[in-house]
Structure formats: C-alpha cells, structure tokens
Structure 1
Amino acid sequence: MVRGQHAARNPTLKPDRDLVIDLARFFCLALVVVAHTMMVSPVLHPDGTVTSYNTLGNEKWFEPVVWVLQVMPLFFVAGGMTGLQSWRRLRARGGNTFDFMQARMLRLLRPAAVLLAIMFTGLWAARLGGVDPQVVELLVSGAGMPLWFLAAYLAAQLNLPLLARLHARAPWLTLAGLTSLVVAVDCLRGAMPALAYLNMVFLWCAVQQLGFFLADGGPLALGRPVLVAIIVGSNLVLGLLVWLGLYSGNMLVNLNPPNLTLFLLGVSQAATLQLLRPVLSRLASRRRVRQFIGVAGRRSMTVYLWHLPLLAALSGLLLLTDFPKPAGGTAAWWWGRPLVLLALIGLLLPVLALFGRLEERPTAPASARSRPAAAVLMAAVVVYVPVADAALNGLTLGLLGGGAACFALAVLLLGRIPARFLADPGSDGSGPPLPRPPLSANVEP
C-alpha cells in the first residue's frame, strides 16, 4: 500500500519492471556469448608459436550480418532506460549523485574484482608450472576483452546523474552536444589516434541518452510509420558514410574504439525495439519466460564477465592436449561449435553458483550514513587507472594483478549501501519481487 501511494505521489516513477527490456538484454547477452564461441580460435603453429584467429570476424559474409547483429548499442539504450528510472527512484528516497555512483560501481566491481583475482592467480600458476608464456599472454588478452565493456558501461552510468539533469532541461541540445563531440573526436583521431578513446565516453553516453528518450515516451514512442522511417533513415545515413569511405562497414572494426556508426546503429536499434514492443511484450509476459529472464537478469553481469575467460581457458587447455583441433573456418571446426557452446555453458553453471551472488550489492542498515563523496570519487579513479592503461597499452599479466588489487581497493572504499537507497525487497526479504503487470518501467535494484 505504501509503495502504491509513493508511486502515486511521484508520477515520473514507475515501480514495475518492463520485461521487454529484460528480454532484450537477455537476447543481446545470449547473442554475444554465442558469437564469441564462433570467434575465438587459437592456432598452434609448427614452430611452436601461438596466435589467435577471429574466424567469424574474417568471414566475408559476416560483415553485412554483423551490421544487423552488432547489439552493443542496444545494451546502452537499455542501460539508459533503466538507469534513468533508478536515478529518479534514488532521488525520491533522498539519495544523491554519489549514492548512485556507489551503487553502480558496487554492482559492477564486486564480480569483476573476484574475476581478475582468480584470472591472475590461475594464469600466474600456469606460467610457473611451465606453460608457454605465449599461451599465457594469449589467454590474458582474450580473457580481458570483457573489461572494455565494463569500463565503457561504468563511465556512461557514472555520468548518468549529470546527463539526466541536462536531459530534463534540454534533451535535444544534450543529445546534439554529445553527438557533436563524437564527430569531433572522429575527425581528429587520424592525427591523434589516442584521442579516439574519448569516444568510449562520448559515444556510449550519447547512445545511453537514446534510452532516456524511450523512458520518457519521447519521439521514439510515436507510431509505426515514424519508427520505420527512423530505422530506414539511420541505416541510409550509415550506409552513405560507409560508401563514402569515411568509416568501415565492419561493425567489429568500428567497436573499439567506437565511432559515429555505433550511434547510428543505436538510433536504429532503439526504434526497432519500440516497433517490436507489442510482440516482445506478449512473449515476455508468458509465465515461464518471465521467470527465466528474471533469474537470468540477476546474474547477467557474471555471465558476461566470465564467459570469455572460460572460453579462453577452454581453448588454451585444448592446445595442450592431443584433442583434434581443426583449422578455423573448416567444416569440422563449424560442426564443433555447438559442442564448444555446450562446454562453455557447463563451465558457467558452477561459476554462477559460486560467484553469482556477488552481483547483489552489500547492504548496511537503513540508518547508516552514505559514503563520503571523496571515497566514491577515489574508488572511480582507482578503477580507471588500470582500465585506461589496458585500453592504451594492452592487458598484460602484471596489469591483470594490478587491476585486481585496484578493483578490490575500490570495493573497500565503496563499503555498503544504506538499505533505504535500495529497491523494495520481495516478500521473503531476499531481493526484488518478480515482475508483474502492468509493466511500465524497468527499475534496477
């Protein structure tokens, strides 16, 4: 009853989850995991050297396919929708920017800190055990790939309170300003290549801003003809830029560091999500689907962070055995992909059982004080020092250990979240309730 009265007093706050967003997130995550099983392909050469071959990424037919299936912008659109509602709920409880930053960092850093520590320990032990250093470095570089997403997503979320205020005052001007910064960086990246990494912030914040428009029922909530026009128009502009030779047509090449093409894909994907919303809503409202994506959503970060390290470890172990290793792209290699996916799922299940609860942020009594702003800011700096080093110079075994220490220090600095700032617990007190209709706004706990 109190919850309903609270929502009634705050019309901009919508307490129930939007299962369409949960379903979209699950689809994106599943697609990323499946795609990575078709990309990771270490090669052991006769001279003993080891290299990594991106089989799927080097297939000629894959370039137009990845134009459609490059779903990373959709992650950030969904993050903008859920993040904006979470920010508004926190503000209604009396929270501030630093409380929001603390909650976001803890949700992402706790599972990441444990992953980095285990990776460093395992790979260092492998090196001491006589495993070829080339194999170890290959595993380090492959397993560290998810960290760029963690850095980009965290940067977008930490800027969300500021961007939400700007959106409330001048939504179109804010979006235009971020997009202009993206274009400016793209124009200067040829002369100063390192400058391109600024778009890890500008680009993904701009895409996140599209989620704000969806959350507010803005122009992307218009009818089907307008949505179709947005989809067609954004892809035509993207095609023109590629045809003029200004950008690559390969959306994997455009991903890291990102450029304007990812923003145009984000516009298309945001409009597509709205266009398909009625169909997705009917599918997501089915009881079994609702329960499944509810459970999967609470462990999504663990799946994302761990699937590539496990896949890299599996590939590395295969190199050390006499198990058949068909060349990437051959018929035997493609037929083996379902087995690799099943093996990966088998490895993920115990990991989820052991470490999945790290996504549940530690809670202090409701009467506890918020963390000092200096501690929250220091935690953000501590995290981004190794992340920036890895982005500019590549991930090494030593940096992996340093990153684990920095992430652990950040978690200690962040402490626990006062219970008054968390979403309402479920009836058993264990967590947020299962989603129920009417569905209005996805609110992250």
Structure 2
Amino acid sequence: MRSTGTRAAGTGADTESRDPAIDLVRFICLVLVVVGHSTMVSPVLHPDGTVTTENTLAEQDWFEPVIWIFMVMPLFFVTGGITGLQSWRRLKAGGGTAAQFIRARLLRLARPATALLAAMVAGLSVAAALGVDRQVVQLVATGAGMPLWFLAAYLAAQLNIPVLAALHDRAPWLTLGLLVGLVVAVDCLRGAVPDLANANLVFVWCAVQQLGFLAADGHLSRLSRSGLLGIVVAAHLLLGLVTGLGLYRGNMLVNLNPPNLTLVLLGVSQLAVMELARPVLAPLAGIRWINRFLQVAGARSLTVYLWHLPLLAAMSGLLLLAPIPKPSSGTAEWWWSRPLVVLALVLLLLPVAAAFGRLEERPTALQAFRCRPAVAGTAVVVVFLPVADAALSGLSVGLLAAGVVCFSVAILMLGGLPLPRRGAVRRGRRRWPGKMWRRGIASGVK
C-alpha cells in the first residue's frame, strides 16, 4: 500500500490512494440495489381506500435462487472493510487518533442522513396536513426509511474499525473466528431470546467487514485462481447444506433482517469472486473516463443510496393517485413498465445528488480538528438513540423528527457545520488554535 503522507492523513479521503477496481465494484453494487428496489416496490390501492405495498420480486418462485447472486449487501461491507482499514492506517501513520477517525465516519454518514430525514419529515407533514390518510403517511415513512437500517449497521461496523484493526494486526484469523463464533451463538439463541437476534446487526457485519481486512492485507491475492474458485464452491456448498437442512431459510431477503450466518458465507463467496474478477475490473476501472465517472459517482454514492427509496416511494404514491392505467403487480405489463420507473428514478436522483451530494463529499480535516474521545463517544450515543428506538418500535414521522434533532446535535458537537467562504483559513494551513474546535469551523478545510 502506497503511503500518501500528510495529505492522506489530513483529509481521510485521498483519491490517489483509492483502488479504482473497488470503486467500480461498489458502483455496480449500488446500481443493483437501486434497480432491485425498483422491481420490488408496488403499492396497491384497495377499493376501501386503504393502501398496501407488495414486494413483487419476493413473490416470484424463481426469485429465491437468483437473490443468492444479487444479494450484494455483504460485498458493500467487504469493500467498506478494505477502504476503512486503509483509511484508518493512513490516519494513524500521520499521528491521528481513533476519536478523529470516529468523527470523520460519523460526519460522513450523519450529514447526508440528516438532510434526508429533514426532507422526509417536511414532506410527510405537508402530506398529512393536506389530508392524506395517516395509514398512507405511515406506510411511506416505513418504506422510505428502509435505507436507514443499512446506515446504522454500516456506521456501527465502521466505528469499530480502530478496535477491530488492532485485533486484526495481532491475530487476523482468530479475530475473524471469534466474530463468526458470536454470530453462530446468537443464531442458536435467537429462538429462545428473539430480541437477541438484533445483536447480529453488529456481529455479522463486523465479521464481513473483517473479510475486507484480510483482502486489504493481500491474503486472498496470494491464492491461485483455482484456490479462489474453490473458496466460492465451498462457501456455496456450505450455504446449500445449512439451508437444505432447514437451519436457515433459503431466501436471502428473509436472512437479511436480522442478518445471520448465511450473509457471512455469502460475503466469503463474493470476496473470492471479486478477486477472481480483478484482472477484468482493474483495467476497466483504469480507463480515464470511467475512472473519472467513478470518482464523481463515488463522492455521492451514499446520497444516492439514502434517497432512492424515498423518491421511489413518493413517485409510486403519486402515480397511484394519478388517473392513469395501473398494471397489476407481477403482470407482463408491470414488468414492461420497470425500465421506465428506473429511468424516472434516475432523473429524480440527478438533481438530488447535485443538491445534497456536497454534504457527503465535504472534506473533514481530520488532523486539523482536535476531537476529544469523550465528545466522539457522546456523539455516537446521540446518533444511535433514535436508531435503537427505530429498531425496537419501528419508524414513524415523530421518530424521523427525533432523528433530525439527534443527528444535528451530533454534527454540532463534532464541529461538522459547513465552513463559511468568507474569512476562511488559508489553504494548506495545518495548525489551529486550541479552542477553534468549539466554533466548528475547521471541518471544511482541506
């Protein structure tokens, strides 16, 4: 891994040290998620005026084996482990601390999420004021807020990187084995203690993220192609065994919430497939215009992920109320309409990504901001308060509003407000007055 010196430590997002092949994989995963959700959401207006949603794909008999291929959520965490470990090591080599790393990760995810939550609260409140049925408002709030579970799980895994990286440096395979052991233990006990299953939102995704640590250190690149292919076959054989014996469901959508061992096995297979495809991915991602596109898209990928379901839900709701023919879910006409739905969703996402993507890509000046461990720890608690409530009681407009407040408080605590253009500190300055963190103006300077 090439060292990038102070610049990498100072920004935490140095594009020179990024692997274009990983960026390409993440973009492909994002496209599959957006397209997949576009073929799932199907609201139905019943004669009595009530509205429900149908998951069209989940009702197809052919879909269950296909989702083994297209369930790319483990690959998100694998690639997040690769880039997260590299980012942490660069920061640490430059004298950075775990508190600074946590601050950067919190702001990276909390700022775009706050904008989304605020827009959802405003939109749903206006809809309720205009007389839209409360059931419809609640349905939209629940469906549109689904991406937030990923945000919570991904953030929990990323915030543990400093600790897990230290354990990985001492005993990489033992650390992975302990995490997988915790996953299996929770799976065994979830029948007796159902709420315990939520613990795997941390254990499963940390274990999958740990696979990315192994890839970052080159453990899989040392294997031959036949060795990687053997890992893919073994992982799928084990998946077939545990699902065939009835220990786990064969439907990966069911296994996703809460997650279980099948997602870890799928992550092993997907990591090996990614390594097998690297000789194709690397040259493709190295093409100049593709590389430039991936940089632009990657800088707004979280915004696209967070906003695509709310926009899809809003668009579907408006179409449901519009006086136009509506094909029944799963019919040939419905399937032929999906490309138009995807196209319309992309057209809606473009201005949203342009407007809110800056919140995601703004540099965080890790070295410049002196984040105290107590402040970082408190901000973590504040962010996860509404997240924990949502996991226990479900999403509602009130809870979304509470999320806006809690996320905003955490951002203020971490000095994450945008930097005013006037009076900005000269570019390239590395040292700051000790009390400047209180005013929160250092976070936007490169």
Q: TM (normalized to structure 1)?
A: 0.90
Q: Does the CA-based 8 Å contact 1:146-1:304 persist in structure 2?
A: yes
Please name the residue that 2:294 is paired with: 293
Aligned: 1:172 with 2:180: no
Could you say which residue in structure 1 is the equivalent of 2:432? none
1:258-297: per-residue Cα shift (whole Å, max 9, x none)? 0000000000000111011001112111122111111100
Paired residue secondary structure (1:51): strand
1:389 equivalent in structure 2 = 389
Q: CA deviation at 1:394?
A: 1.0
Work out the CA distance in 2 between the residues paired with 1:391 and 1:318. 30
Q: Distance in 2 between matches of 1:353 and 1:4?
A: 29
Q: For residue 317 of structure 2, what is the amino acid of its counterpart?
A: G
What amino acid is aligned across from residue 294 of structure 2 in structure 1? I
Tell me the SS of whatever aligns to 2:55. Answer: coil
Q: Once the 2 structures are TM-superposed, how far is the Cα of residue 77 of structure 1 from its aligned partner?
A: 0.3
Task: Indicate yes or no: 2:210 matched with 1:226.
Answer: no
* 1:324 positional shift: 1.8
Q: Cα distance, 1:89 vs. partner?
A: 0.5
CA drift of 1:316 comes to 1.2
CA distance in 1 between partners of 2:266 and 2:363 (Å)? 36
Listed one character per residue, the Cα deviations across residues 289-341 of structure 1 (whole Å, up to 9, x for unaligned) are 11111110010000000000000011111122212221110111111111111
Give the match's secondary structure for 2:86: helix
Structure 1 residue 63 corresponds to structure 2 residue 68: no
Change beyond 3 A, Cα 1:354–1:369 = closer
1:94-133 equivalences in 2 (<5 Å): 94-133=95-134
The answer for the alignment partner of 1:73 in structure 2 is 74
Using the TM superposition, name which of 117-126 and 220-229 deviates more.
Answer: 220-229
- What letter matches 2:37 in structure 1? H
1:361 shift after superposition: 3.5
Q: Per the alignment, in what secondary structure is the counterpart of residue 53 of structure 1?
A: strand
Question: Partners of 2:215 and 2:78 in 1: how far apart?
Answer: 8
In structure 1, what is the equivalent of residue 272 of structure 2? 271
- Displacement, 1:365? 9.8
- CA spacing shift, 1:336–1:96, aligned 2, 3 Å: same
Equivalent residue letter for 1:204: W
Deviates more, 1:388-397 or 1:229-238: 388-397
Q: Report the CA distance between 1:256 and its aligned residue.
A: 0.8
Aligned partners of 2:115, 2:15: CA distance in 1, in Å?
34
> Displacement of 1:4 after TM fit?
6.3
Q: Deviation per CA, 1:204-230: give whole Å up to 9, x if none.
A: 000000000100001453110110110
- How far off its partner does 1:360 sit? 2.4
SS at match of 2:323: coil
Q: Offset of 1:386 from its aligned partner?
A: 0.8
**What is the CA distance between 1:6 and its match in structure 2?**
7.4
Structure 1: which 5+ runs fail to align?
8-12, 420-427, 430-444
Is the Cα contact below 8 Å between 2:42 and 2:56 reproduced in 1? yes
- Amino acid of the residue matched to residue 302 of structure 1? T
Q: Relative to structure 1, is the Cα distance of residues 6 and 307 closer, same or farther in structure 2, using a 3 angstrom cutoff? A: closer
Q: What residue is the counterpart of 1:342 in the other structure?
A: 343
Superposition deviation, residue 416 in structure 1: 4.2
- Tell me: CA distance 1:20–1:365, structure 2 relative to 1, closer, same or farther (3 Å): closer
* 1:162 equivalent in alignment to 2:145: no
Two-structure CA RMSD over aligned residues (Å): 2.2
Unaligned runs of 5+ in 2: 8-13, 420-426, 429-445
Partner of 1:325: 326
CA distance in 1, matches of 2:220, 2:320: 52
Distance 1:398 1:416, change over 3 A: closer
Distance in 1, matches of 2:210 and 2:361, equals 26
In structure 2, distance between residues paired with 1:163 and 1:361: 27
Partner AA of 1:411 in structure 2: I
Letter in 2 for 1:394: G
1:316 aligns with 2:311: no
| Contact persistence 1:383–1:407 (CA under 8 A) | yes
- 1-structure distance, mates of 2:199, 2:366: 39
Distance in 1 between residues matched to 2:221 and 2:68, nearest whole Å: 21
1:34 Cα deviation from its structure 2 partner: 0.3
Q: Is the contact made by 1:181 and 1:202 (CA closer than 8 Å) also made in structure 2?
A: yes
Q: 1:250 to 1:4 in 2, by over 3 A?
A: closer
1:43 aligns to what SS in structure 2? strand
What amino acid does structure 1 have at the position aligned with 2:214? F
For the Cα contact (< 8 Å) 1:213–1:220, is it kept in 2? Answer: no
- Seq. identity, %: 64
Instruction: Give the Cα separation in 2 of the matches to 1:256 and 1:220.
Output: 32
